[in-house]
Amino acid sequence: MSKNLTKRSEDYSKWYNELVVKADLAENSGVRGCMVIKPYGYAIWEKMQAELDRMFKETGHQNAYFPLFIPKSYFSKEASHVDGFAKECAVVTHYRLRTAADGKTIEVDPDAKLEEELIVRPTSETIIWDTYRGWIQSYRDLPLLINQWANVVRWEMRTRLFLRTAEFLWQEGHTAHATQQEAIAEAEQMMNVYADFAENFMAIPVIKGVKTANERFAGAIETYCIEALMQDGKALQAGTSHFLGQNFAKAFDVKFATKEGVQEYVWATSWGVSTRLMGALVMTHSDDNGLVLPPNLAPIQVVIVPIYKTDEQSEAISEEAKTLMAKLKKLNISVKYDDRDTHKPGFKFNEYELKGVPVRIALGPKDLENGTFEVARRDTLTKEVVANTAIVAYIQDLLEEIQTNLYDKAKSYRDSHITEVNSFDEFKEVLEGKGGFIAAHWDGTTETEEKIKELTKATIRCIALDRKEEPGKCMLTGSPSVGRVLFAKAY
Residue ranges that bind its own copies, judged by CB under 8 A: 27, 29-31, 34-39, 42-43, 45-46, 62-76, 82, 86-99, 104-108, 117-120, 127, 130-131, 134, 140, 146, 150-151, 153, 155, 167, 169, 342
Q: How far is the CB of 50 from its own copies (least distance, A)?
A: 10
Shorter beta-carbon distance to its own copies: residue 300 or 406: 300
Shorter beta-carbon distance to its own copies: residue 99 or 412: 99
- Write the single-letter amino acid at 392: V
Shorter beta-carbon distance to its own copies: residue 97 or 387: 97
Q: How far is the CB of 88 from its own copies (least distance, A)?
A: 6
Q: How far is the CB of 135 from its own copies (least distance, A)?
A: 8
As beta bridge partners, residue 304 has 337, 361
- Write the single-letter amino acid at 416: S
Shorter beta-carbon distance to its own copies: residue 2 or 105: 105
The CA distance from 368 to 365, in Å, is 5
Q: How far is the CB of 395 from its own copies (least distance, A)?
A: 23
Shorter beta-carbon distance to its own copies: residue 68 or 392: 68
Shorter beta-carbon distance to its own copies: residue 40 or 201: 40
The CA distance from 292 to 300, in Å, is 12
Contact residues for 184 (Cβ-Cβ < 8 A; gap 6+): 222, 243
Q: How far is the CB of 396 from its own copies (least distance, A)?
A: 24
Q: How far is the CB of 296 from its own copies (least distance, A)?
A: 19
Nearest residue to 130 via CA among 64, 67, 181, 56 = 67
Nearest residue to 81 via CA among 218, 238, 274, 279 = 218
Q: Where are the beta strands (DSSP E) in 276-412?
A: 302-306, 335-337, 359-363, 372-377, 383-387
Shorter beta-carbon distance to its own copies: residue 114 or 368: 114
- How buried is residue 92: exposed, middle or buried, by Cβ count under 10 Å (0-12/13-18/19+)? middle
- How buried is residue 115: exposed, middle or buried, by Cβ count under 10 Å (0-12/13-18/19+)? exposed
Nearest residue to 304 via CA among 374, 382, 361, 378 = 361
Q: How far is the CB of 155 from its own copies (least distance, A)?
A: 4
Specify the pairing of strand 222-229 against strand 418-420.
unpaired
Q: How far is the CB of 313 from its own copies (least distance, A)?
A: 24
Long-range contacts of range 245-250, CB-CB < 8 Å, 24 or more positions apart?
A: 245/180, 245/183, 245/220, 245/221, 247/78, 247/80, 247/81, 247/219, 247/220, 247/221, 248/78, 248/81, 248/125, 248/126, 248/129, 248/219, 249/129, 249/176
Q: How far is the CB of 79 from its own copies (least distance, A)?
A: 8
For CA atoms 404, 274, 463, 185, the dihedral sign is negative
Shorter beta-carbon distance to its own copies: residue 120 or 238: 120
Shorter beta-carbon distance to its own copies: residue 128 or 485: 128
Q: How far is the CB of 309 from its own copies (least distance, A)?
A: 22
The CA distance from 486 to 207, in Å, is 10
Q: How far is the CB of 327 from its own copies (least distance, A)?
A: 22
Q: Are 337 and 84 in contact (CB under 8 A)?
A: no
Shorter beta-carbon distance to its own copies: residue 95 or 312: 95
Shorter beta-carbon distance to its own copies: residue 14 or 87: 87
Q: How far is the CB of 274 from its own copies (least distance, A)?
A: 13
CB neighbourhood size of 266 (10 A): 27
Q: How far is the CB of 39 from its own copies (least distance, A)?
A: 4
Contact residues for 465 (Cβ-Cβ < 8 A; gap 6+): 208, 209, 210
Contact residues for 286 (Cβ-Cβ < 8 A; gap 6+): 19, 292, 356
Shorter beta-carbon distance to its own copies: residue 135 or 420: 135
Shorter beta-carbon distance to its own copies: residue 109 or 315: 109
Q: Are 423 and 441 in contact (CB under 8 A)?
A: no
Q: Are 145 and 175 in contact (CB under 8 A)?
A: yes
